[in-house]
A = this chain, B = another copy of it.
Amino acid sequence: MLIHIINPNTTQRMTDAIAAAARAIASPGTTIIATQPDMGPASIEGYYDEAYAVPGMLARIAATKADAHVIACFDDTGLDAARCVTSAPVLGIGEAAFHAASMVAGKFSVITTLGRSIPAIEHNLTRFGLASRCARVRACEIAVLALDDPASDASTRISAEIAAALAEDRAEAIVLGCAGMAALAARLSAQHGVPVVDGVAAAVAFAEGLVRLGLKTSKIGGYAPPLPKTYTGSFAAFAPT
């Protein structure tokens, strides 16, 4: 089985870390291909970055033959559009993490990077239908690219938010709200005694499951293939045919 995981930002170091996290969870028979777009932002922090991450990401997905695709940004950037360009299953890591947490706990809280990302995550929870399972979306106020900087004190601040979530939100599980936090999940889970879900791992595991189930993205309704039409200017090459 071939799973394509795309880091929608263009930071190679992050793509490598995501690939490593994906391979660590993948089943023996699964091959992971990790890519990043040709063009776009070095990290995704807000709606504007999302908008410029999507075109390159969609091109990569369209060009990559795989049994399933994983979008490795917690905002689930471009998820709906990606489902239009392939009949293979496509999972976002935020979406996958919400589903996983819902299977092992009544309520979960999310710890994301910056407060500015909270509204987008709340929108996704509402659309996915799982908002009622989320006690609260919290931010540790550390920038995405600083997460792996030892000077950022990221682990300590995320841990403090987890403690607050358990005490104040009555959360029964924690979802880590950024692909860059993948390496911390196991330790934080042990430390706090609750399930701590990393979306990269969750998405790979569920993508394998969907492939084994033979389920493909529905092609009637919202995820129907794009209609053939003219695209102009520098996007001409992306026109659906």
Within 8 A of B (CB), among A36-53: 37-43, 45-52
B104 pairs with A227, CB closer than 8 A: no
A230 pairs with B42, CB closer than 8 A: yes
Report B-chain residues with C-beta under 8 Å of the C-beta of A118: 170, 221-222
Q: Does A205 contact B (CB under 8 A)?
A: yes
Q: Does A150 contact B (CB under 8 A)?
A: no
A202 pairs with B213, CB closer than 8 A: yes
What's the Cα separation between A223 and B54 when bound, in Å? 19
What's the Cα separation between A79 and B172 when bound, in Å? 16
B234 pairs with A38, CB closer than 8 A: yes
Identify which of B10, B50, B128, B230 contacts A232 (C-beta below 8 A).
B10
Q: Does A20 contact B (CB under 8 A)?
A: no
Within 8 A of B (CB), among A104-126: 104-107, 115-116, 118-120, 123, 126
Given contacts A39-B236, A172-B223, A195-B218, 12 further A-B contacts (CB under 8 A): A40-B232, A41-B230, A51-B55, A51-B78, A56-B233, A100-B210, A104-B210, A106-B223, A143-B227, A172-B218, A186-B214, A195-B217
Within 8 A of B (CB), among A195-216: 195, 197, 201-202, 205-206, 208-210, 212-216
